[in-house]
Every structure is written in C-alpha cells, then in structure tokens.
Amino acid sequence: MSKEKAKSQSTTSPDNSVNAINNRLFFRLVQSSNLYERGVQHHVNVSSVQGAVLGAVSRNADLSMALADLVEYLAVSRQNLDAVLKRLERQGYVERVESPQDRRVRIVRMTPTGYEFWTDILQQSFQFYRKITSGISSEEKKVLTDLLIRIGHNLRKPD
C-alpha cells in the first residue's frame, strides 16, 4: 500500500485517538441537538430556546429575570434572545419592563397567559423527555448531565 493511501485511510477511518473521539463526540452532540430541536418543535410545539426562556423565568418565585441574567444563564447572544423575546411578547407569554430598583435594568416577566402556557408545555416536555431517554438509567442521565456541565464550563473559559 502506498504511503499516500495509508495516510488517507488513517485520516478517514475511525480510530481511538483523542482527536477522533472528540470529533465523534461533538458531531453526536450537534446531531442530537438538531434532532432534539426538531422533536421539541413537533411534540411540544415550541422552539427549545422559547421553552428555555420560559423555564428560566419560571424558576424565580416572581416569574421574572433580569435580561442580562437571562443572556448569561442561557448562554445566548442578546440579539438572538431579543428575537425570541419579541415572539414570546407577541404571543402574550412575556413582557419586558424596567426594574423598579434600577431603570437601566430590563426585566423579562412571564404573564399569566405565559404561565398557563408554560405549565401545559412542561407536562408535554416531561412526556417527550421520557420518550427520548427510554433505555437510559437514572445513573447514566446523571453522569451525562455532569459531563455536559463540565463541557459547558470549559466552553465558557476564556481562551
């Protein structure tokens, strides 16, 4: 076998090198994310980012969150979040208001209609999650969650 052919096969054939494993890992992560997005849209009828916004805001007792905190928590750009919030506002699920403590701070607040919608899609989400995690033990889910958190921390580190 020629050196060129051997080199070509070594770069295209699967192996267990760190680079090959990382490549497969992140390809599967992107692929799973795309499939998840399609599944959420189909089963829950909301985008994953819209659901994440409503979920993040619902975590607080007053059903609100500072816009800057929401950007940080969801790890999205302000521009992308703005587009999602505009759609949620048009649907009557959230509103943006000034903070009573600091007029420079914008607050995203869930409306009563938004809260009702959130409780409905939350139940649908639980059913969807059960479907897509069938055959995966609770321990495996915990391990995967921990690993994804660690990857997220590494992605947030400055270069």
Domain extent for 151: 46-156
Q: What pLDDT score does 49 carry?
A: 92
The helix, strand and coil proportions of the chain, stated in percent and rounded to the nearest 5, come to 70, 10, 25
| Euclidean distance between CA atoms 22 and 154, whole angstroms | 14
State yes or no: pLDDT of 8 exceeds 50: no
pLDDT in tens, 21-56: 999 999 999 999 999 999 998 888 899 999 999 999
Residue 110 lies in a domain: yes
Residue pair 49/80 in contact by the 8 Å Cβ criterion: yes
What is the domain count for the chain? Answer: 1
Residue 125 lies in a domain: yes
Q: 132-140: long-range contacts (C-beta < 8 A, 24 or more apart)?
A: 132/36, 132/39
Domain of 95, CATH number, reads 1.10.10.10
Q: Give me the mean pLDDT over the 52-81 stretch.
A: 94
Which residue do the tokens 């903070």 mark?
99
Residue 30 lies in a domain: no
Q: What pLDDT score does 12 carry?
A: 54
pLDDT in tens, 87-127: 999 999 999 999 988 989 999 999 999 999 999 999 999 99
pLDDT in tens, 134-154: 999 999 999 999 999 999 999
What is residue 133's three-state secondary structure?
Answer: coil
**pLDDT class of 15 with cuts at 50, 70, 90:** confident
Residue pair 105/66 in contact by the 8 Å Cβ criterion: yes
Residue 55 lies in a domain: yes
